[in-house]
Structure 1
Amino acid sequence: MINFFKAMKAEMLKQHKVYFHSKVIYVSLFIWPVLSFISAYFSFKPFNIGSSTVSYLNGKNLLIFILLGYICMSFFRSLVQSAWNFSFERISGTLEYIYLSPVNRLAVILGNALSSLFESVWVMAVFSISIFILKHQYLNINIPAAIITFLLMVLMAIMWGMLLNALFLFSRDSGFLFTILEEPMEIFSGVKVPTTIFPLWAKCISLIFPLTYALDAIRKVFLTGYNLGEVKSFIICSIFIILFMFILINVCLKLGEKHAKKTGNMTLF
């Protein structure tokens, strides 16, 4: 267990030095999501949101509604990008050294996910908290439910990042996965538009992304004061998703290592 945490810490430190070597990086991490948030807000501002059929959306809390979408999206987006960056470990030869060492593979991808998650989202989190304080009158938060749903969202984001790391590690060209998982996740998970008003085919696509479930529960808890009993279905569903992704992560890692031992080639797909 000690070696596991040492490997995880080492990977987090490595990722920090490689991708967060300059303070200017944090400026871009702040500007990009904030500009996306502002663009989405003013895109919907001219419309009569008061007639919305979504129970937790109205003209007064539109700002909070969209902001909740983008703060959650920032967690998942940072991990999609980190997985894409991690795929270059194979190109540079670092992955081969990792597999030749006795280091725990799960610890490596967990360290990568944790480093990218907390390095990338804290600036956006500070901005969001500031807006929440300014617009607190439009919030109706159930504190216990908010804590549980937020923690489950973070856990799902970490598992999502680890799963993508495991997939991207063994792909010859992971660029197409980045394209598939980046923008569609923002569109179909309900970041800007509630999934309840989607047509059936779009709702089916939205079920693929864990962000869809987390975002709906968080908005209900923060905007309408849903308690733990009212988000019970989300809690059960999120636990199932986390366990399912954990199993897939281990399967992908074992499959990739078995292939590497057999062929001497790290490129599985």
Structure 2
Amino acid sequence: MKALFALFSLFLSACSHSISLRASHFAVPVVGENQWSGHAAIVASSETRVTVIDDISSNPPVRNKVRINEDFNAGDMFAANNIGFDASLSAYKGIEIYMDNFLWGARYQFLNNGPQTGVWVGSLQGAFGTKSESTDDFTVNQSTPQSEAKSSITTSQAGISLGYKFQNVVPYFSYIYEAHKIETDVKNNHGSFGPYTDDGIHSYYSLGLSTHRRGLRIAAEYSYIDIKWKESNQTGQGAYGMKVGFAW
């Protein structure tokens, strides 16, 4: 019983560090029909949680294998990082610049760009972005953290999308390849540690449906993600996403 209590106390005292990646990207096969057309939308989607430090307070910080979607609690279902923002702007006929959460990229419609409907459509896209996430471990009655972990995340993305353009909607299938690099520094009562580096590949296979005309922009998507990290077992994840916005 004492050993069980000690193990439970250790579990409570350990503070892991995870980063969150959006699990839906809405890689549609169409771009704006006219120059300076575009859209802006709010996105609600699943996320992928990547745990890179198991205990940031120990000496040295505990790092076993990278864990995927294990550091999760009920509050994460309503967390702000499940909500994102998408936007696009057509800079030239057949080409648009887009923002996908923290990624900035370009999308080129190589198949049947224009106002015609009842045709097959296709696009290629590429994007790049960086962001940072941190975890602080506070003790009771302390206003400054006893331990802190901060990660810098760099992501590169490439994808292809194919679909059929109906009068008002486009059903599509897309494939996205994402390469992630995470560098993490840890500070605690024992000193400074790192940077620790982790690399991973996420491959997205998605089925979606999106409107494409001016006015209300609505899209829904299901994705299966094949997840491979160097210090982890290969795993998979199913993900859902929806976005609502306005197109001009």
**Structure in which a larger fraction of residues adopt helix:** 1
| Higher Rg of the two aligned structures | 2
User: Which structure is higher in RCO with an 8 Å CA cutoff and minimum separation 6?
Assistant: 1
TM range (shorter): under 0.3
User: What TM-score, normalized by structure 1, do the two folds share?
Assistant: 0.25
